[in-house]
Amino acid sequence: MPATGSLEVITGPMFSGKTDELIRRLRRARIARQKVQVFYPAVDSRYAGSEFGKVTSHAGAEFDAAPVRAAQDLLRLVEDDASVVGIDEAQFFDDDILRALERLVAGGVRVIAAGLDTDFRGEPFGPMPALMAQAERLDKLQAICMQCGEPASRTQRLVAGKPAAAHDPVVVVGAGELYEARCRAHHKVPRE
């Protein structure tokens, strides 16, 4: 009988430390001599340039990882002896990620997924609400509002220094040049 699998979800806005926390847990699993594999969606071009890359936090922490084009690729790439699987930027996957991760958990794997809970509009992002609902452990992190210094739970996209409009595309990969962490009071989404 396989070990009991589990799903852990780390979520929050950009700049809240999600990837740092993911990497911290993965490093601890390695220290415990567990077989760890890590994946990220190939759409996240910040890690472009090689078949096998890294997940990297805004603070500079890194962990070896492989890009995947679709959630079902995970099932093919996860090795039989893997006991811990990390997923970064889970919001970029489609709903197939739910079934893929459920199969891993049912097979005894500890899955740790990190991703944005909401998009720049403040609306639920991709499969994250369902992953959060299925998780045995859920950690929702906060950042610091870049306008007032209070706790931030939102991601503000900027276009030429102004808030992006509601009709702008949801997926635009970037970092500090395009996004800020904001509190509810300072998060703005023009609807025109």
Catalytic positions are 89
* Beta partners for residue 53, in sequence order: 65
CA atoms within 13 A on the CB side of 45: 4
Q: What kind and span of H or E run contains 101?
A: helix 96-106
Q: For residues 138 and 128, give the distance between their C-alpha atoms in angstroms, rounded to a whole number.
A: 11
Q: Which long-range contacts (CB under 8 A, 24 or more apart) does 29-32 make?
A: 29/83, 29/84, 29/110
Q: What is the rounded CA–CA span in Å between residue 142 and residue 158?
A: 19
